[in-house]
């Protein structure tokens, strides 16, 4: 008989919770690929019965008080039985779960098992009142009976791998690190966020490479006080064996339980040379919270730096255009219209200047020279334009 064991961890459910005990998965089950506990009878073709019960994890595998529940075959009184008669003689248990019992219910549960005579390894039930039963781990036991000549021929029982309560025996796992690098001298403080660990049975190992190319293990430095509520470790990194590296050296970091020898999956960790200053890029979230660069400490809050025309200053890329009019000459109007008042009031003074200009140019028009204002008033609009425009342009703009 051949079995493919179930998942090594379950979340233990009690009958009083009123919830389903869930389903056991196969050993290679994953989020995308669910597998199931499977049994196969080898060297026999025909009708058979498989009885599945729970036994203790350690030999001699006495009957365990926890119960099996599910929809496969006939499941009652803590035991499940199924009929097998397929060409490949296999059976996959799709809805098989474990329902846990409390300490005060151990004797009652094993009495039921005794009545239905399910004791795969013939160990009896004297341990019903024992305090040594581990309620946090079990094994599935498969008993197969071949139907031959109206008789049931039993085969040797087969057990699965150990199945543990996830709450008590959770996998050690590194969830996150505060940093993944350290100087070769070591001594850098690192915070590790992990699954449940115990302060007296946990170490942090750094798998490094020495100067001869051999892999060596160095331990992170921390005390039991550095283990925070079983889910965090504060430690200092050990030094790197080779202090003369000229580029970052990669090693592995993992959690280790000395009592059981269990290891977590490793995480990449880096040591950088003495000459290399570690610079980590600023996170986008932090950059958004910081104020923009001002280019100096003289800038008042909310105001741009004052522009100057000093030719020795570096160009900012902006073109400074001098104002054409003084602020007193500009008056804001509705719709954004700006009215520019003349720099000099209208009157005879500009005409006097024009008269002096015409005299200096030796113009012979007596009317224009002697009586420019009267002549200007007597002329039609077109005559005014033709007569005075060239002289006025020359007078004002030097054209």
Which tens digit of pLDDT belongs to each residue from 286-321? 345 444 544 444 444 444 445 445 544 444 455 555
In which band, very low, low, confident or very high, does the pLDDT at 356 lie, cut at 50, 70 and 90? low
pLDDT digit string (tens) for 209-234? Answer: 888 888 899 999 999 999 998 899 99
* Predicted local confidence at residue 150, as pLDDT: 84
Number of domains in the chain: 3
Q: Domain range spanning residue 356?
A: 348-397
Q: Give the CA angle between residues 254, 196, 19 to the nearest 5°.
A: 135
Same domain, 156 and 190: no
Q: CA gyration radius for the chain?
A: 48
Question: Encoding tokens for residue 394?
Answer: 């020359």
Same domain, 154 and 46: yes
* Predicted local confidence at residue 277, as pLDDT: 60
Same domain, 102 and 22: yes
Same domain, 261 and 225: yes
Contacts of 388 (CB under 8 A, 6+ apart): 354, 376
Same domain, 195 and 125: no
In which band, very low, low, confident or very high, does the pLDDT at 197 lie, cut at 50, 70 and 90? confident
Mean pLDDT within 344-360: 56
pLDDT digit string (tens) for 91-150? Answer: 988 888 888 899 999 999 999 999 999 999 999 999 998 888 998 889 999 999 999 888
| Closest-CA residue to 25 (of 86, 117, 98, 104) | 98
Orientation angle between helical segments 381-397 and 348-360, nearest 10 degrees = 70
Residue 95 Cα to chain centre, angstroms: 34
Same domain, 100 and 191: no
Domain membership of residue 114 (yes or no) is yes
CB distance 255 to 263 below 8 Å: yes
- Percent of the chain's residues with pLDDT above 70: 60
Residue 57 pLDDT > 80: yes
The average confidence (pLDDT) of the chain is 76
In which band, very low, low, confident or very high, does the pLDDT at 240 lie, cut at 50, 70 and 90? very high
In which band, very low, low, confident or very high, does the pLDDT at 30 lie, cut at 50, 70 and 90? low
Same domain, 233 and 182: yes
Domain membership of residue 133 (yes or no) is yes
Handedness of CA 193, 194, 195, 199 (dihedral sign): negative
Q: How far is CA 309 from CA 297, 319, 320, in A?
A: 20, 10, 8
Domain membership of residue 194 (yes or no) is yes
Q: Which of 165, 195, 210 is the last residue of a domain?
A: 165
Same domain, 51 and 143: yes
Same domain, 44 and 149: yes
| CATH code, domain with 190 | 2.60.40.10
Mean pLDDT within 3-16: 58
Same domain, 180 and 148: no
Q: Which of 132, 147, 165 is the last residue of a domain?
A: 165
Residue 388 Cα to chain centre, angstroms: 82
Domain membership of residue 286 (yes or no) is no
CB distance 199 to 227 below 8 Å: yes
Same domain, 17 and 111: yes
Domain membership of residue 277 (yes or no) is no
Domain membership of residue 300 (yes or no) is no
How many CB atoms are closer than 10 A to CB 93? 25
| CATH code, domain with 138 | 2.60.40.340
Q: Which of 146, 165, 184 is the last residue of a domain?
A: 165
DSSP state letters, 9-28: EE--EEGGGTS------BTT
Residue 27 pLDDT > 80: no
Same domain, 180 and 201: yes
CB distance 372 to 358 below 8 Å: yes
Domain membership of residue 42 (yes or no) is yes
Residue 171 pLDDT > 60: yes
């Amino acid at each position: 008989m051949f079995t493919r064991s179930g998942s090594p961890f379950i979340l233990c459910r009690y009958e009083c919770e009123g919830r389903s005990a869930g389903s056991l998965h196969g050993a290679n089950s994953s989020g995308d690929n669910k597998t199931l506990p499977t049994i196969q009878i080898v060297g026999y073709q025909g009708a058979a019965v498989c009885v599945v019960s729970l036994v203790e994890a350690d030999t001699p595998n006495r009957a365990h008080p926890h119960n099996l529940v599910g929809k496969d075959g006939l499941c009652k009184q803590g035991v499940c039985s199924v009929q097998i008669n397929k060409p490949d003689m296999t059976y996959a248990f799709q809805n098989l779960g474990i329902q846990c019992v409390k300490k005060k219910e151990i004797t009652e549960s094993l009495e039921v098992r005794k009545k239905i005579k399910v004791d795969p390894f013939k160990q009896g039930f004297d341990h019903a009142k024992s305090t040594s039963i581990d309620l946090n781990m079990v094994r599935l036991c498969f008993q197969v009976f071949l139907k031959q000549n109206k008789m049931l021929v039993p085969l040797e029982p087969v057990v699965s791998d150990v199945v543990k309560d996830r709450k008590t025996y959770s996998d050690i796992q590194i969830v996150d690190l505060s940093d993944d690098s350290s100087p070769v001298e070591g001594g850098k403080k690192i915070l590790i966020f992990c699954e449940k660990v115990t302060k007296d049975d946990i170490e942090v190992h750094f798998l490094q490479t020495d100067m001869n190319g051999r892999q060596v293990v160095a331990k992170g430095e921390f005390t039991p006080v550095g283990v925070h509520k079983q889910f965090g470790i504060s430690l200092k990194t050990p030094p790197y064996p080779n202090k003369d590296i000229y580029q970052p050296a990669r090693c592995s970091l993992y959690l280790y339980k000395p009592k059981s020898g269990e290891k977590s999956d490793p995480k990449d960790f880096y040591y950088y040379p003495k000459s290399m200053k570690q610079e980590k890029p600023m996170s986008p979230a932090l950059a958004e919270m910081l104020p923009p660069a001002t280019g100096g400490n003289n800038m008042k809050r909310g105001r741009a730096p004052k522009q100057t025309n000093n030719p020795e200053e570096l160009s900012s890329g902006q073109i400074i255009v001098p104002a054409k009019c003084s602020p007193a000459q500009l008056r804001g109007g509705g719709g954004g219209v700006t009215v520019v008042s003349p720099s000099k009031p209208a009157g005879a003074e500009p005409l006097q200047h024009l008269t002096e200009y015409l005299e200096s140019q030796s113009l012979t028009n007596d009317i224009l020279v002697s009586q420019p204002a009267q002549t200007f008033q007597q002329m039609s609009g077109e005559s005014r334009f033709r007569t005075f425009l060239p002289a006025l342009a020359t007078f004002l703009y030097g054209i």
